[in-house]
Amino acid sequence: MQIHFGLDGFCPEWEAAVACVGTFDGVHLGHREVISQAVALAAADETPAVILTFDRHPAAILAPRHQPPSLAPLEDNLAQFAGMGAALTVVLAFDERLSMTTAQEFLDEVLIARLRASRLVVGHDFAMGRGREGSGLWLAQRIATTIVPAMESKGQRISSSAIREAVSGGDMGAADRLLGRPFSVHGIVVQGAKLGRTLGYPTINLARSCNQVMPPNGIYGGYARTAKGHFAAAISIGVRPTVGEHNPRTIEAYLLDYPGESLYGTDVALDFRVRLRDEAKFENLEALMRQMEFDVKAVRDLK
């Protein structure tokens, strides 16, 4: 899949394309249905399937105080797109100028003139342009448009807001079900206090680079995707109350059966499968070590 940031220098030579438009935060099952239908229609038309997305949530410009934390960084969304058969993704900067563009201008000048869109696929709640005037029905009156209905899982509507609620509440099973895959936290491995090494469970410490929604403090079972391979992981989010007060909140993971090569400075993704327990303050380090042994066994037993 090709990726183009902005429209400067973008000069497609195809005559027609099927385009889908959206922020697609987290690329959950509802988003995947929109993209899959666009890819299928493009294949039937023998034209490219083009995804148009944005570098940030529109609320960052339109309502900064209400901007939700992201479900995934942009690069993770792009990686999800790449596995779905789209030929191209165009990433636009959602800035003040774009926020003032009317729906008609966006349709005429961006979707049709620049992307060569001859057909659109959008979600049921899609709207574009100043004041969100360009709904799916509005588009259907002006260009061939497929409106994908809302999707549900176990009676719950699939949406980014529902997944954020599940993650922030620690319900990793619900997040997995709505996303179609485990929720992931991405970060760079940095130096930590190295207490885990002292206790016999050396951990990696992650520093994030975006405002991503986080599960509540606690111990989780999941997997780590690293430059050295994939490993089962016991993941800790919290302030380490056993070793002092006023500690900063950290994200740490003990990688089961990891060979021991340094991961400092590398990108790691932690996939959260299950919440094992709340964070707790133990009476001493020996009690903490005993609990860590139980936690690691629980992770090893995950199927």
Is residue 125 domain-shared with residue 236, that is, in the same domain? no
Provide the mean pLDDT of the chain: 92
pLDDT digits (tens, 9 = 90+) for 38-95: 999 999 999 999 999 999 988 888 888 888 899 999 999 999 999 999 999 999 999 9
Same domain, 146 and 34: yes
Containing domain of residue 92, as a range? Answer: 2-157
Same domain, 132 and 59: yes
Q: What is the DSSP letter of 259?
A: -
146 lies in the same domain as 208:
no
Q: Which residues contact 275 (CB under 8 A, 6 or more apart)?
A: 170, 171, 172, 215, 218, 219, 220
* Cβ-proximal residues to 39 (8 Å cutoff; 6+ apart), any chain: 18, 49, 84, 85, 86
Residues 8 and 141 in one domain: yes
| 194-240 tens-digit pLDDT | 666 666 688 999 999 888 999 999 999 999 999 999 999 999 999 88
Q: What is the DSSP string of 187-246?
A: EEEE----HHHHHT---EEEE-SS-B--PPSEEEEEEEEETTEEEEEEEEEE--GGG-SS
* Other beta carbons within 10 Å of 256: 16
d(CA 157, CA 178): 9
Pick the last residue of a domain from 122, 157, 192.
157
| Distance, C-alpha 257 to centroid of its chain | 27
Residue 161 CB partners (closer than 8 Å, separation 6+): 68
Helix (H, G, I), strand (E, B) or coil at 30: helix
Provide the pLDDT for residue 198: 62
Encode pLDDT of 120-150 as tens digits. 999 999 999 998 999 999 999 999 999 999 9
Query: What CATH number should be reported for the domain holding residue 204?
Result: 2.40.30.30
Task: Match 């930590």 to its residue by tokens.
Answer: 192
CATH number at residue 13: 3.40.50.620
Identify whether residues 187 and 152 lie together within a single domain.
no
pTM of the model: 0.89
Number of domains forming the structure of the chain = 2
Shared-domain flag, residues 250 and 127 = no
Judge contact between 212 and 72, C-beta under 8 A: yes
Q: What span, in angstroms and rounded, lies between the C-alpha atoms of 59 and 269?
A: 26
Please report whether residue 165 resides in a domain: no
Same domain, 149 and 204: no
